[in-house]
Structure 1
Amino acid sequence: MDIHEPMSKLPDQPLTVVGYAGVLRDLLPVALWRTDAGGRILEWSLAAQDVLGHLPEDLLGRDVRRTLVPEGNWELAEQLSRRVLAGETVVGTLPVRHRDGHFVAMEMWICPSADPQGETGVMAIAVETSAVLRMRDSLAAMEGLFTQSPIGLAMLGPDLRYQRVNDALARMNGVPAAGHLGKRPTEVVPGVNVEVLESLMREVLQRGEAMVDVRGTGRTPAEPGRDRMWSCSFAPLLDITGRRLGLIASLIDISDQEEARSQARRAEGRFALLADAGARIGTTLDLRRTAEEVVQMLVPEIADSADVQLLEEVLGPDEAAESGKGMVRRMAASFPEAGAPTATLVAGTTYQVPLGSVYERVIADGRPMDLFRSDLPTLFPGTGPGDGRLRDYLGSRIRCARLVPLVARGRALGAVVLTRMRDREPFDELDKVLIDELVARAALNIDNARMYTGQREAALTLQRSLSIAALPEVTGLELTGRYLPASCHEVGGDWFDVIALPDGRTGLVIGDVMGHGIHAAAVMGQLRTVVRTLARHHVPPAGMLHSLDAAVADLGENEMATCVYAVHDPVSGDCLIARAGHPPPAVVAPDGAVDFLDGSPGTPLGTGCAEFRAERVPLEPGALLVLYTDGLIEARGRDLDEGMRELAIALRYVDRPLEDTCDRVLARLLPSAARDDVAVLLARRSPRRAAR
């Protein structure tokens, strides 16, 4: 309880209207009740009913102390009543009983009031303490916000003329607060999009609904040389009848935050672009395709044009390096503008880099360089038919360019030239960081593609040099064979060979070196040479595999291969066959029955186990011997046993031409691209027995 000192006497002015007090109806309901000289309730206001719940018909004529005052405060209530009846007015905070039994703390103004009999009674004007505190805090907060807040605040009338402006808004607009009063926003800050804002304010007044986070943009006298941005919110001011009194406007300068968000969005976009570049550049090991992917990442997201150029000396073989010194070749380019002289910028064109030119300095120093309008023609100093037109185009349509060297593993490979048109801002620092990072990543992908292309060409050359151009004609056998690499970009170590031996017999060999690429092809070539050499010295199949095992072991611990070597005798028709960890050959009888050899499989070459045994397999006239590598029968979702069953089905029709049989086998077992290299060798015994 908080009882204050008595206030001075107030004139006895009974209220003529009891109920809600105008504008206080919603903000601060004021409860009023009166008693006669004996303490009986004579009047109970509607506001009192709302706050305390008691209905007038339940209270009128009842003792106020017993009805509303807690029992513990009866003595205090009696003291206050005597003071008021003596003519004093007191204020205090007292608990009052609510209809449901709980007590409500209320701040009261208790004063004398004449009752109907002309005696002195009591009138209490009370407000709920919590509501008073809320209003006090709200008013203090509003005043503090309006006078101290960094947010720009203004009150405008229904005619959208300023009625009050805080100092923060005055500073934003560069106009004193007094200079706003009585004026419309269009008169104070004409450099801002105030026509749009005033239209929105009128909409707020008409609809009676607030509008939040409307963007204001433009320049004010505070900073006439810089564009600013504000987050504006408008809320209507309405009286109890709904009449539009005006509106409250709040403005927050978000220029710096918006710029920071813009930079953050740009940074996020750049990170996303870098991540995308990792997925999109280098999808193949094709050099030209990789260069095209680089251009597609740069245009039009970062630049209006991009030109990827590589030094001829890094593209050709070593012996051609000197002849291509100082020459560059355009690998990919994009000049999307209609007026660009693209005829001189097609991929595949080459030109000599002039000594001392910008291009030469960029490649030699390995550092990026920026060029602007007057320097742009130096990018293409040539004297060819289209070079003059190209220089004119650069000087008239291009705003800026950035040259970035392609450097990978410490070696300059060429450069990427990017440009932006006149209607676009020059590259900023964030752009340059992104460009340089993208080009650095692209350089590694291009270098990988370049090295792979060189290695692949070398492997293909080696493989072609080691492969047999055509199968020989041998006694007693009809032959055909196929080699299918896993992809056109990669070679492996699968091979087969047919060797005509000096005594009329025939050596048949098929093998699979672990791995791919030039190394596997080189190992395959060595094994093929060993087989051919030893075969002509009449080394039997088991001995052949022993020798090959030692040869593979000599190449290193990580080398491994599988192999089948067979020797066919045209007189007996028999084949002596030995295996080294290789899938079992298939034998197809003239009636179409298919059997897979179940003799000793042996161990792969290079393991050092050297467990090889030969198996004699008779071939009837018209029978077919099928040698193959595991790539034929292995596939995703298919095990070896299933692959062998599929092979047996494909081999049933043994009486057809051998080429057709081979095609049927490949079509059935390899309906799509194989995951591994495949080699197949088919040998069919001639129908007639050969004479010795």
Structure 2
Amino acid sequence: MFQDLLPLALWVVDADGRLVQWSLAARDLLGHTPEQLVGQDAKRVLVPEENRELADRLVRTVRSGAAVVARLPVRHRDGSVVDMEMWHCPIADARGRTGVLAIAAETSAVERMRDALAALEGLFTQSPIGLAMLGPDLRFLRVNEALSRIDGVPVAEHAGRRVTEIAPGAGALESVMRQVLDRGEAVVDFRYVSGAADPQRMRTWSCSYAPLLGGAGQRVGVIASLIDITEGQRAHLEAERARRRLALLAEAGTQMGSTLDLTRTAQEVVRVLVPRLADSADVQLLEEAMAPDETAASAHGVVRRAAAAFTDPDAPADHLAVGMTMQVPPGSVYEQVMTAGRAMNLYLGDIGPLIPTPGAERLREYLYARVGAARLVPLVARGTVLGAVVVTRTRGREPFDEQDTLLIDELVARAALNIDNARMYSRERDAALTLQRSLMNTALPTVSGLELTGRYLPAGDQEVGGDWFDAIALSDDRTALVIGDVMGHGIHAAAVMGQLRTAVRTLARRDTAPGQVLRSLDAAVADLGDNEMATCLYAVHDPVTGHCLIARAGHPPPVIADERGTVAFLDGPAGPPLGVGRQDREVQRVFLPPHSLLVTYTDGLIETRGTDLDQGMRRLAEALRHPGHPLEEICDDLLAHVMPQVADDDVAVLLARALPR
């Protein structure tokens, strides 16, 4: 009946000025349907041009925190203007910003009403939002049915009671209202959680409060609105968790597997997991999966801790040291996880199986006292079990939920692949280094007229290539000096290097001329395939004349430093590398005076990505200013001061000093 006397329109405008709610009463009064208006600019659709300045002032007042009653013409759908009495109060929009809740009645209808309280009661009955009006003592004066449904207390039983009497434990809400009353400033979107003790009944509310002003502007109470945002909050939290999970996966993609070093890869795994997903992470690798084939049998069932991180300072570090090994007992949880290749969750009473070996009572006591949940995840890559990762959370943290376990398993699966890549690369590197050492005998012979020394260095700990050097005693006291560089790295490059070294030795002992040696090597490299390529320098020194015959195939120029410290790079074309076609190479004759140095090297000594080649050549020349120093010392200085700090390629150097006759 009251609705017939005074129809009340309700609409909500967000902080951007767009309509987000339009009631049926508003449709009846102004002709616009919710479908037509929701999402539209409220001022453009509803406010006549001549009244927009007034509307802007009202909005600014409401956003400052005050509830305002004002008369404002509103445009009807048919184009006419309807004078309306409107009540504006602040309300939080979906993004937590201050919007406007407008309740309006046609002015002509209001003027027919003698009792303003009836209008207020109509407002409360129309609102789908929980509304309340409280006096200066913060006791309820009015509440609507929506608020009654929220707190489960009939409307009539609210009058004269405090918030804490209706909802025990809601003291925080009363404190906020006291602040609004004392300061005269609205509080918008204060989040309050009820039923926290029971997750199934827990609700989240967006509460907004504004001072209620009397005719003279004095604060006579508080107007309150409550909106249930539980579902929206849950959706927001789930979206935020999903965003964090995606961010962590993206970060893991850049952090894990950044190198092919097994230890660093294991360390990267625990850095990703701790502390965001877990309070500890322990990477344990099976020795038989990591060890060479000939030693794997003796390491069956043994795991070694490759990396670990524990946020709890009370964790017994002596039992958790990286490098420790332990035998996995048959039938244990560890064995089950690694045999089946499936992850497993452990809780409170199951913590004991986290300790696969006896004699660690202190660790067992710590785990029982501090750990609330754990997950054991096997490291499986390409069908091979490499070990397991153990992650735990302390009792003060929630156990792993389904999303946590999915994310942990995904990260461990990625880690397994990275660890397996590092494992296979390490094995290949070791095999390549072994092959190279077996094929390249770095022990140089004692020859006539020359003092010799040489070095080979792989590119850091990760790369083995096809660089090599050699010296071969020839007839008539002559000496062949050889240095070369096979393109590529690994076992294949080392094997090609071995073939070229053998071919050079065979050709040299047949007294083949330098130019013909390179032509024969070019054919040999071409026979290996279209993608094979190498550089080489071949020189023959005659101690009788002091001359050297030097031929190059794409190789960097050698350096000659006389006993006065004058340094010169050999002029002349380097020629094409080996393997690009049968072409004649220029043979140069140079004189090597007594006490002078002939320095040959591969390009890894002077060249690296992103640097100027000329800089490397200048560093090499500067390092040869004192050719009279012992040959071994000169060689060490070259590698220490000329070679780039971060080497991209392996390096070979061969130094020859001419001896006086």
| TM-score clears 0.5 | yes
1:448 to 416, 421, 424: 421
* 1:554-599 deviations in Å (ceiling 9; x for gaps): 2222111000011112222222221111122233345544443334
Name the residue aligned to 1:160: 138
1:385 to 359, 364, 377: 359
Q: In 2 relative to 1, CA 428–148 (structure 1 residues): closer, same or farther, beyond 3 Å?
A: farther
Name the residue aligned to 1:200: 176
Name the residue aligned to 1:89: none
**Equivalents in 1 of 2:555, 2:72: separation in Å?**
97
Q: In 2 relative to 1, CA 149–356 (structure 1 residues): closer, same or farther, beyond 3 Å?
A: farther
* 1:206-228 deviations in Å (ceiling 9; x for gaps): 2222221122233399x896332
**Equivalents in 2 of 1:441, 1:245: separation in Å?**
64
How far did 1:543 drift? 2.1
Name the residue aligned to 1:26: none
SS at 2:83 equivalent: helix
SS at 2:104 equivalent: helix
SS at 2:85 equivalent: helix
Structure 2 counterparts to residues 5-154 of structure 1, below 5 A: 133-135=83-85, 138-140=103-105, 146-154=124-132
**Equivalents in 2 of 1:644, 1:419: separation in Å?**
55
Counterpart residue type for residue 308 of structure 1: V
**Equivalents in 2 of 1:339, 1:244: separation in Å?**
56
1:539 to 465, 487, 512: 512
How far did 1:496 drift? 1.2
Name the residue aligned to 1:373: 348
* 1:612-656 deviations in Å (ceiling 9; x for gaps): 343332323233322122223334565445544554444344444
How far did 1:357 drift? 2.5
SS at 1:687 equivalent: coil
How far did 1:239 drift? 1.8
**Equivalents in 2 of 1:632, 1:158: separation in Å?**
85
Q: In 2 relative to 1, CA 367–144 (structure 1 residues): closer, same or farther, beyond 3 Å?
A: farther
How far did 1:234 drift? 0.8
Counterpart residue type for residue 582 of structure 2: C
Name the residue aligned to 2:148: 170
Name the residue aligned to 1:121: none
* 1:40-78 deviations in Å (ceiling 9; x for gaps): xxxxxxxxxxxxxxxxxxxxxxxxxxxxxxxxxxxxxxx
1:575 aligns with 2:575: no
**Equivalents in 1 of 2:281, 2:618: separation in Å?**
55
How far did 1:671 drift? 6.0
Counterpart residue type for residue 152 of structure 2: G
Name the residue aligned to 1:409: 382
Name the residue aligned to 1:360: 335
1:420 aligns with 2:371: no
SS at 1:370 equivalent: strand
**Percent identity of the aligned residues?**
63
Name the residue aligned to 1:181: 159
1:227 to 177, 202, 223: 202
SS at 1:154 equivalent: strand
Structure 2 counterparts to residues 268-667 of structure 1, below 5 A: 268-382=243-357, 384-386=358-360, 388-636=361-609, 638-641=611-614, 643-666=616-639
**Equivalents in 2 of 1:224, 1:464: separation in Å?**
67
**Equivalents in 1 of 2:334, 2:73: separation in Å?**
82
How far did 1:427 drift? 0.3
**Equivalents in 2 of 1:348, 1:637: separation in Å?**
38
Q: Is the CA contact (8 Å cut-off) linking 1:162 and 1:182 kept in structure 2?
A: yes
Counterpart residue type for residue 218 of structure 1: S
How far did 1:251 drift? 0.8
Number of aligned positions between the proteins = 558
SS at 1:681 equivalent: strand
* 1:54-104 deviations in Å (ceiling 9; x for gaps): xxxxxxxxxxxxxxxxxxxxxxxxxxxxxxxxxxxxxxxxxxxxxx9xxxx
**Equivalents in 1 of 2:530, 2:338: separation in Å?**
43
How far did 1:609 drift? 2.8
Q: In 2 relative to 1, CA 391–663 (structure 1 residues): closer, same or farther, beyond 3 Å?
A: closer
**Equivalents in 2 of 1:611, 1:502: separation in Å?**
25
SS at 1:133 equivalent: strand
1:260 aligns with 2:225: no
**Equivalents in 1 of 2:383, 2:123: separation in Å?**
62
**Equivalents in 1 of 2:619, 2:368: separation in Å?**
68
**Equivalents in 2 of 1:391, 1:657: separation in Å?**
61
How far did 1:257 drift? 2.1
How far did 1:320 drift? 2.1
* 1:389-434 deviations in Å (ceiling 9; x for gaps): 4444434432221111111122211111112222221101111111
**Equivalents in 1 of 2:182, 2:319: separation in Å?**
64
SS at 1:494 equivalent: strand
Q: Is the CA contact (8 Å cut-off) linking 1:173 and 1:220 kept in structure 2?
A: no
Counterpart residue type for residue 573 of structure 1: G
How far did 1:278 drift? 2.0
Name the residue aligned to 2:186: 210
**Equivalents in 2 of 1:591, 1:419: separation in Å?**
69
Counterpart residue type for residue 213 of structure 2: L
Counterpart residue type for residue 129 of structure 2: I
Q: In 2 relative to 1, CA 496–321 (structure 1 residues): closer, same or farther, beyond 3 Å?
A: same
**Equivalents in 2 of 1:484, 1:469: separation in Å?**
11
Q: Is the CA contact (8 Å cut-off) linking 2:540 and 2:548 kept in structure 1?
A: yes
Q: Is the CA contact (8 Å cut-off) linking 2:326 and 2:356 kept in structure 1?
A: no
**Which moves more between the two structures, 661-670 or 613-622?**
661-670
Counterpart residue type for residue 658 of structure 1: L
SS at 1:139 equivalent: strand
Q: In 2 relative to 1, CA 441–637 (structure 1 residues): closer, same or farther, beyond 3 Å?
A: closer
**Equivalents in 2 of 1:665, 1:393: separation in Å?**
54
How far did 1:151 drift? 1.8
Counterpart residue type for residue 226 of structure 2: L
Rg (Cα) greater in structure: 1
Q: In 2 relative to 1, CA 592–429 (structure 1 residues): closer, same or farther, beyond 3 Å?
A: same
How far did 1:273 drift? 1.7
Q: Is the CA contact (8 Å cut-off) linking 1:214 and 1:233 kept in structure 2?
A: yes
Q: Is the CA contact (8 Å cut-off) linking 1:212 and 1:232 kept in structure 2?
A: yes
How far did 1:275 drift? 1.8
SS at 2:185 equivalent: coil
**Equivalents in 2 of 1:429, 1:128: separation in Å?**
54
Q: In 2 relative to 1, CA 641–245 (structure 1 residues): closer, same or farther, beyond 3 Å?
A: closer
SS at 1:401 equivalent: strand
Name the residue aligned to 2:657: 684
Q: In 2 relative to 1, CA 174–224 (structure 1 residues): closer, same or farther, beyond 3 Å?
A: farther
CA RMSD in angstroms, aligned pairs only: 2.8
Counterpart residue type for residue 210 of structure 1: A
**Which moves more between the two structures, 199-208 or 178-187?**
199-208
**Which runs of no fewer than 5 residues in structure 1 stay unpaired?**
1-99, 101-126
**Equivalents in 2 of 1:167, 1:360: separation in Å?**
62
* 1:229-255 deviations in Å (ceiling 9; x for gaps): 211111111122123332210011222
**Equivalents in 1 of 2:544, 2:327: separation in Å?**
68
**Equivalents in 2 of 1:129, 1:229: separation in Å?**
37
